[in-house]
Structure 1
Amino acid sequence: MLVPFDALQSLPQATLDNLIHEYLLSQIEDGSFVELDSDTMQQATAKCMMMLKKKELYVEYSEDDESIAIRSREEISRRTPISE
């Protein structure tokens, strides 16, 4: 299930920040980022938030294993068509 951006804005800011940071750390592990400092993390967090708003990234909740993660539009559309 995709979580709408409007619903994300009702989350506590710390919860949303932690979700974004977890996503960004996964990007470091796969080589998308080469370094991590507080300035880089702040910039990446702002960019991620903008990408969520523009529907380039989505928050997906899996009812099967009760997990939540940020996924790219391409990653999700490979599995299931995204309806606007």
Structure 2
Amino acid sequence: MLIPYEQLKQSLSTEALTNLMREFLLQQITDQGFDQTDSQALSQALPKVEAALKRGELVVEFSEEEESVAIRPADQVTSAMPL
């Protein structure tokens, strides 16, 4: 199930949302795109990730089956209705 950005902002602490976005960026190191792991690079990339979440380019997906939460590109999420 997809969690809309506004609901995410209301439900998660700032720290939890930041950690979720950091995890997404760290996954990008091995997958694609993002290639820096230092704190400054991560801090500079976080506003870009949050802006992409606001625009709907990235979405937060909760899997009840796997009990996991992940940020994914919207075009890679095919069958899930917003919460």
Which TM-score band (shorter chain)?
Answer: 0.7 to 0.9
Q: Does residue 9 in structure 1 map to residue 9 in structure 2?
A: yes
The higher-RCO structure (CA 8 Å, 6+ apart) is 2
Distance 2:72 2:79 in 1: 12
Distance in 2 between residues matched to 1:64 and 1:25, nearest whole Å:
24
Per-residue deviation at 1:34? 2.2
Instruction: Quote the residue 1:44 is aligned against.
Output: 45
- 1:53 alignment counterpart: 54
Whether the aligned pair in 1 keeps the contact of 2:2 and 2:80 (CA below 8 Å) is: no
- The offset of 1:82, in angstroms, is 6.6
How many residues are treated as equivalent by the alignment?
81
SS of the equivalent of 2:72 reads strand
Within 2, Cα distance between the matches of 1:64 and 1:81? 13
Instruction: Give the partner amino acid of 2:6.
Output: D
Deviation digits for residues 3-28 of structure 1, max 9, x if unmatched? 01111112101100111011100001
TM-score (norm 2): 0.87
RMSD of Structure 2 on Structure 1 (CA): 1.7
Contiguous gaps of at least 5 residues in structure 2: none
Instruction: Give 5+ residue unaligned stretches, structure 1.
Output: none
TM-score normalized by structure 1?
0.86
Match in the other structure for 2:25 = 24
SS at match of 1:61: strand
**3-state DSSP class of the match of 2:46?**
helix
Q: Which moved more, 1:48-57 or 1:31-40?
A: 31-40
